Structure 1
Amino acid sequence: MSNFGVEVRHLASADREAWEPLWQAYLDFYEQVLPTEVTDLTWARFADPTEPMGGLGAWAGEALVGICHYVLHPSTWSARPSCYLEDLFTTPAVRGRGVGRALIDATASAARRAGAEKLYWQTHADNATARALYDRVACHEGFLVYERPLN
C-alpha cells in the first residue's frame, strides 16, 4: 500500500516478539484462549518449509501493525490447491487505512506463487468492519460455516 506506507512480508524468526501481542489481541477479539503450546506450534509452523502454513506481517516503519496467517491445502474440486486465509488482524489505529487489504493482496500473491486456484476466508456475520472490506475485495458465495468440535 503506497499512501500509508506499509511493507508486507513473510514473518521471520526475529519477528516473534512483535507478532505475539497482535496474535493475542486477535484471540481476545474472538474471545478465545489457546494454550501456550499451540501458540508456540503455530509460530514454529511459519518457519518450517514442510508445513503448508504461512504468516505475513504488515510493517509501518518499525511497528508491526497487522498479521495474516494462511494455509495451503489440496482440494477435491481442483487439481490445484486452495488457500485458506485463517487469521487476519490489524491494530485498531490503522483500521480503514488499507492495511487489511494489503495483507489480503499479499496472501493472494503468495497463494498464486504456490499455484493455488482460489483464496477464501470466513468471518463472523456481525463483524461489519471486516465485512465492509471483504465485500470490496472478494465475493460472498452464500455458504454458511458449521463446526463440530471433536474433543
Structure 2
Amino acid sequence: MSAPFIRALTPPDHAHWLPLWRAYLTFYEASLPDEVTATTWGRLLDPAEPVHGALAFDGEGRAVGLVHWIFHRSTWAVGEVCYLNDLYVDPGQRGGGFGRALIAHVAADARAQGAAKVYWLTHETNATAQRLYNAVAERTGFIQYRKVLEP
C-alpha cells in the first residue's frame, strides 16, 4: 500500500467529497438538509471563511477520506485555535494510515497558521477512532454538552 496523499479541496472535488460526506453522516446516523451540505461545500472553498477541507487519496487516485477544520479565537490563547470538525475514512481503508495522515495535515496547517492547538471530539462508542486518537493526541477528559436552539 502506498503512502496516503492528502490535498486541499478544489471545486472539481465535489464529486469525490459528497459521497464521503454522506457516508460520514450515515456513520453518525445523522441527516442534514441539502441546504446545509451545499453551504458547507461553499464555505470549504471560500478563502474568506475560517473553514478548510482536504481529501485523502489512495495509491490509485481514489478519494478515501476527508477532513474539515475551523480556526477560531479562544479565551485560553492569544492566537487562534484549530477545531478538527470532521474526519472520515472509508471503512475499507481504515488502518491504512489515512486518518493519521489527515490529522497530521490539519496539525501542519494549524502550526503554519500559528494556532495554539488542534482539538476534536468523537462519539464515546467510536472505539476504532479512539485507538488512533489516543496514539496521536492527549485525551482531555472533558464531556460535551449541547443545547439545541429552536428558531
**Would the TM-score normalized by the shorter structure come out above 0.5?**
yes
Match of 2:113 in 1: 114
1:31 aligned partner, one-letter code: E
User: How many residues in Structure 1 have an aligned counterpart in Structure 2?
Assistant: 149
Match of 2:149 in 1: 150
Match among 20, 33, 36 for residue 22 of structure 1: 20
SS of 1:83 mapped into structure 2: strand
CA distance in 2, matches of 1:43, 1:112: 24
CA distance in 1, matches of 2:116, 2:87: 20
Match of 1:57 in 2: 55
Match of 2:104 in 1: 105
Match of 1:92 in 2: 91
CA RMSD, Structure 1 to Structure 2 (Å):
0.9
Match of 2:131 in 1: 132
Listed as ranges, the gaps of 5+ residues in structure 2 are none
More strand by share: 1
CA distance in 2, matches of 1:4, 1:138: 24
Runs of 4+ in 1 over 6 A off after TM superposition: none
Measure how far apart 1:5 and its partner are: 2.3
Match of 1:11 in 2: 9
Measure how far apart 1:112 and its partner are: 1.0
2:27 aligned partner, one-letter code: F
CA distance in 1, matches of 2:26, 2:106: 23
1:76 aligned partner, one-letter code: T
Determine if contact 1:6/1:59 at 8 Å carries over to the other structure.
yes
Match of 1:41 in 2: 39
